[in-house]
């Protein structure tokens, strides 16, 4: 049987990556073979593109094309083969992130993103998307810390406000697969919401 494709989305600092690990452990405890991966990244080409994207200043058009180049590798070489083998793929960001960051954040036309989406993965959409929703000002306090911040994390609050509202618009437009998590709560409460959402979705 084909596996399931679950994606984790949200603005930088929303805490999705921490909770992705907890969700993976829950699914493994149910006996599923789980593959955890991320975008941009997940393949040698994708990880190379990731370094460029996070560090090199570039035009929003270039950025969008690079994201989809990395995604083409990821979908064809990793995600689809894993799903066909029956594995459950948990992906830290996918195409919703391009609609939110490049579309909402940078103003890339939605139609351009939709055209690339149709080309790169016409037959693949997440089965479930967890959106970690959080005030940009709160998220900003969680980003950074000891490590140096990347090109996206260095953006202003207004940028993240646009990204957030684009994410929320997508959650409304695709309500059949989105669950919105209140990522402003404390870590234990967020974890409970995530595990509850995954359990509820599986039992449907």
Contacts with ligand TMP, residue ranges (CB under 6 A)? 12, 38-40, 67, 92-93, 97-98, 101-102, 152-153
Q: Report the residue number, 38 or 177, with the smaller CB distance to ligand TMP.
A: 38
Closest CB to ligand TMP among residues 32, 72: 72
| 16 touches 132 (CB < 8 A) | yes
- Give the nearest distance from C-beta 40 to ligand TMP in angstroms: 5
To the nearest whole angstrom, how small is the minimum distance from the Cβ of residue 169 to ligand TMP?
16
What ranges make up the beta strands (E) of 76-154? 88-92, 128-133
Shortest CA distance to 181 belongs to which of 200, 162, 153, 159? 200
Our CB check for ligand TMP shows the closer of 12 and 73 to be 12
The CB-of-144 to ligand TMP minimum distance in angstroms stands at: 12
Q: Which is nearer to ligand TMP, 3 or 15 (CB)?
A: 15
Determine how β-strand 5-10 pairs with β-strand 128-133.
parallel
User: Which is it for the CA torsion 20, 23, 25, 30, positive or negative?
Assistant: negative
């Amino acid at each position: 049987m084909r596996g399931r494709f679950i994606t984790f989305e949200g603005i930088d600092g929303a805490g999705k990556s921490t909770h992705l690990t907890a969700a993976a452990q829950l699914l493994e405890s149910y006996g599923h073979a789980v593959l955890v991966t991320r975008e941009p990244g997940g393949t040698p080409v994708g990880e190379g593109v990731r370094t460029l994207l996070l560090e090199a200043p570039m035009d929003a058009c270039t950025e969008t094309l690079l994201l989809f180049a990395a995604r083409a590798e990821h979908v064809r070489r990793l995600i689809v083969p894993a799903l066909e083998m029956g594995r459950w793929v948990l992906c830290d960001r996918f195409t919703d992130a391009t609609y939110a960051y490049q579309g909402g954040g940078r103003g890339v036309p939605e139609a351009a993103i939709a055209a690339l989406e149709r080309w790169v993965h016409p037959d693949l959409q997440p089965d479930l998307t967890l959106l970690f929703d959080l005030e940009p000002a709160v998220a900003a306090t969680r980003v950074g810390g000891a490590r140096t911040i990347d090109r996206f994390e260095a953006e202003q609050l207004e940028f993240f406000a646009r990204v957030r509202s684009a994410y929320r618009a997508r959650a409304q437009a695709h309500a059949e697969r989105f669950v919105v998590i209140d990522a402003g709560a404390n870590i234990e409460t967020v974890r409970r919401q995530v595990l509850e959402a995954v359990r509820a979705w599986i039992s449907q």
